């Protein structure tokens, strides 16, 4: 997985869980802990996400949210499937899918 996709997936995971650990995130994304720490630094410093890392027992990675806490919960694969389904949807179904993508995409 490329860095941009990995960081997007990292944000999606943190938005859903609010708190996790670097070792768990590294394992889940199939990279080493150094990569996760570097991604977290980039996401906070360069991209402005509100993410804290807390050391010690009970610590971990904490996502502090933003104005729309549900935005970004859908993965890129889920968004693509919904986009594909819109081709076959009637106008009411299409409006529902567009609303879902606006809120969760």
As a whole number of Å, the end-to-end CA separation of the chain is 20
Give the residue with greater pLDDT, 90 vs 70.
Answer: 90
Residue 92 in this model has a pLDDT that exceeds 70: yes
Q: Higher-confidence residue: 80 or 58?
A: 80
pLDDT digits (tens, 9 = 90+) for 15-69: 888 789 999 999 999 999 999 999 999 988 888 788 888 888 777 898 886 545 5
Retrieve residue 18's tokens. 């609010």
- In sequence order, the 6+-apart residues with CB closer than 8 A to the CB of 10 are 25, 29, 36, 39, 40, 43
Report the pLDDT value the prediction gives residue 87, as an integer from 0 to 100. 92
Place of tokens 């199939």: 30
Helix (H, G, I), strand (E, B) or coil at 23: helix
What H or E segment, with its residue span, contains residue 100?
helix 91-104
For the chain, the residue count is 105
3-63 folds as: Arc Repressor Mutant, subunit A (1.10.10)
């Amino acid at each position: 997985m490329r860095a941009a996709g990995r960081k997007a997936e990292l944000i999606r995971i943190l938005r859903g869980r609010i708190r996790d650990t670097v070792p768990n995130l590294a394992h889940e994304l199939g990279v080493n802990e150094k990569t996760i720490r570097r991604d977290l630094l980039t996401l906070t410093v360069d991209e402005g996400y509100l993410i804290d890392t807390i050391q010690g027992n009970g610590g971990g990675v904490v996502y502090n949210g933003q104005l729309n806490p549900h935005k970004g919960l859908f993965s890129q694969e889920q968004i693509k499937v919904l986009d594909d389904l819109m081709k076959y949807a009637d106008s009411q179904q299409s409006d529902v899918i567009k609303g879902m993508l606006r809120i969760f995409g």
